[in-house]
Amino acid sequence: GAQRESKVRVRAHFDYNPDEDPYIPCKEAGLAFQRGDVLHIVGQDDAYWWQARKEHERSARAGLIPSRALQERRILHDRSQREGTDLDSKQNDDFDREQIATYEEVAKLYPRPGVFRPVVLIGAPGVGRNELRRRLIARDPEKFRSPVPYTTRPMRTGEVAGREYIFVAREKMDADIEAGKFVEHGEYKGHLYGTSAESVKSIVNAGCVCVISPHYQAIKTLRTAQLKPFLIHVKPPELDVLKATRTEARAKSTFDEANARSFTDEEFEDMIKSAERIDFLYGHFFDVEIVNGELVNSFEQLVQNVQRLENEPLWAPSMWVQ
Ligand code: 5GP
């Protein structure tokens, strides 16, 4: 038709089911969606109900979804209700979650020849994100590289400055962290460790794929228009598969040393709980999820996703696309 279509696309940061929504004007007119779905917003005339279509179902009809303003009000309302009854909701971590997760405007980010977005592997400790990173680098060390971390601990015999670590004074690293020069950092046995934004950028500028596997809290610092990270959640499979694959891997020595040690049942259960926590806090930020059951399969998925990154336009925050 002659009407101009809206170009607005958003990624939903929550699940929505009109059948369970007592306030929707007409349930049949509602559009159900899941967190992570990309929605094409075709009408924003009403303050409370937008008209939208699922991006991956182009032929399907448009339906009603809560507007950003309505969803924000609902989240704030739910939160104040919960705070009265459930002290757990005040757990520290909850404040890590993006304040009010509703919709994020997205646009297609086209690959640029020779300029690769950093690949960031996030996952609960023990699930295997570090191993996947090492395998990617081992497969093609000219192409995939990890930055050399900084540390304030003293150099050990056999180590070479700039090879294992870049060794710096505590005062210098404290100041640089304060100045926002690190994309992630942590403390271990009284010493600081971290990855600088500059070292990520220099790998990108050299035309390589920068691969890092930081603590999940680094997502907040990393997710910028400047770095444009491709975020992967490396998840554990169900408990029985998790146990079976690790036990088998240990027998066949397919996992590397760190993952070849035996885990207790409690540690396996912690991995799953911790993965659920990461999903709750940051699930809406991941570009892909890889379930790390059989390592051969998950590594193959990782390789395929890196290829997509090189060849396909992918949805990213519209602020990153200029
Ligand atoms: P080591 O001092 O034995 O070389 O390393 C001890 C620990 O430092 C590692 O197990 C790891 O937890 C941590 N570490 C090493 N590199 C980094 C890094 O780049 N960032 C963070 N946050 N921790 C690191």
d(C-alpha 51, C-alpha 37), whole Å: 15
pLDDT for the residue numbered 268: 96
Within 6 Å (CB) of ligand 1, which residues are found?
149, 153, 184-186, 188, 193-195
pLDDT single digits (tens) 219-245:
989 999 999 999 999 999 999 999 999
- Mean pLDDT, residues 242-269 taken together: 79
Residue 34 is given by DSSP the state -
| Helices 239-252/265-282 angle, 10° precision | 120
Atom of ligand 1 at shortest range from CA of 147: 19
Task: List, in sequence order, every residue forming a beta bridge with 109; answer none if it has no partner.
Answer: 314
**CB-CB contact of 11 with 54 (8 Å):** no
- Mean pLDDT, residues 208-219 taken together: 96
Cβ neighbours for 30, distance < 8 A, ≥ 6 positions apart? 18, 19, 21, 24, 63, 64, 65
- Mean pLDDT, residues 150-161 taken together: 97
SS3 category, 281: helix
Question: Are β-strands 63-66 and 103-109 bridged in parallel, bridged antiparallel, or unpaired?
Answer: unpaired
d(C-alpha 78, C-alpha 159), whole Å: 53
CA angle 277, 279, 285 (to 5 degrees): 135
Q: Choose one of 152, 164, 188 to mutate for the ligand 1 pocket test, by most ligand atoms within 8 angstroms of C-beta.
A: 188
Q: Examine the pLDDT at 169 and tell me if it is beyond 70.
A: yes
Confidence bin at 4 (pLDDT 50/70/90): low
Question: Rounded to whole angstroms, what are the CA distances from 282 to 96, 123, 158, 230?
Answer: 9, 11, 39, 13
- Residue 280 Cα to ligand 1 midpoint, Å, equals 26
Quick one: CA torsion of 128, 283, 212, 10, rounded to 10 degrees?
150
Atom of ligand 1 at shortest range from CA of 164: 4
- Residue 142 Cα to ligand 1 midpoint, Å, equals 23
Residue 76, both tokens = 């704030």
Lowest mean pLDDT among 35-39, 92-96, 198-202, 211-215: 92-96
pLDDT for the residue numbered 179: 97
Atom of ligand 1 at shortest range from CA of 150: 19
In this prediction, does ipTM exceed 0.90? Answer: yes
pLDDT for the residue numbered 2: 46
